[in-house]
Amino acid sequence: MPSETKTISITLNDLAKMIDVSLLHPTMTDADVIKGLEQTIKYNTATACVKPASIPLALKYLSPFTTTSPKICPVIGFPHGSSTTTTKVNEATECLRLIHESAPRQDDVKHEIDMVINIGKALGGDWEYVENEIRAINDAVIQEGGILKVIFENDYLQDSHIIKLTQICASVGVAFIKTSTGYGFVKLPDGNYNYKGATLRHLKIMREHAPPSLQIKAAGGVRTLDDLLRVRAIGVTRVGATAGPVMLEDAQKRGINNDKPIEVQVTFEDGKELGGGY
């Protein structure tokens, strides 16, 4: 039996602008990336999330940029967050400068950086290190005309870590906090690996402890339109997904378009989580 139902008002563009098309798998060839960039353009999503080496391709296919067109979102310190702070700062700076060499900065066009925290430092309770690193990278990204999303990698963390990281990011003033990389596999006792990514429970914790100005990105776990609607209903404004086109095509089949907002009922069932996977 459903435990809770919420009603939200949406358009197709609202949903498209929630999606960062994920083009991050290590086996992706240039042809694979190009296919993803073409989907980014076709569906007019928020960004294409790419590895730094793919920035030239992203520039070729996505520029020129406007306030409403998809932006480029490179990842840094990815996926394990183990680089030094200086390396992460330099990587973020290099990525944004490379973009702006071909697409000059505009005050109303902000490209984005997704960075991974130093997970071991967080687990060890070295919060001064974690905060100083986030602040240094955020300062560098803002200086270069971008905005920062901070990846926690929740699969490795306890609730207390997630709450503390949310509070730190709020204090620093970053734009987004993000659940996962999509590659945070946890080794199980039998030797196999498991990965959850974003969960409704963790997203609710992040939203509860974040001020309204701090946006939340769910990565991993959002693979269906129903998943997308659920996370939107609890205050998530961005998702990282490879299944974006499928979700948006399903939305059109259900009558969600850009003619006018429609009201959609979103159901949360006891114990039912997101679909899992990236």
Cβ(40)–Cβ(70) below 8 Å: yes
**Could you tell me what percentage of the chain is helix, strand and coil, using 3-state DSSP and rounding each to the nearest 5?**
40, 20, 35
What is the DSSP-derived secondary structure letter of residue 7? E
Residue tagged active-site, from 51, 71, 164, 178:
178
Residue tagged active-site, from 51, 164, 196, 217:
217
Q: How many CA atoms lie within 13 A of 260 on its CB side?
A: 2
Residue tagged active-site, from 114, 149, 196, 227:
114
The identity of residue 76, as a single letter, is I
Tell me which residue of 116, 191, 217 sits closest to 157, measured CA to CA: 116
217 is an active site residue: yes
Residue 188, classified by CB atoms within 10 Å of its CB into exposed (0-12), middle (13-18) or buried (19+), is exposed
35 is an active site residue: no
Alpha helices per DSSP H over the chain: 12-16, 30-43, 55-62, 85-102, 119-123, 127-143, 159-172, 200-209, 225-233, 244-253
178 is an active site residue: yes
The identity of residue 65, as a single letter, is F
The residue with tokens 């905005």 is 147
| d(C-alpha 214, C-alpha 120), whole Å | 24
Active-site residues, by number, are 114, 178, 217
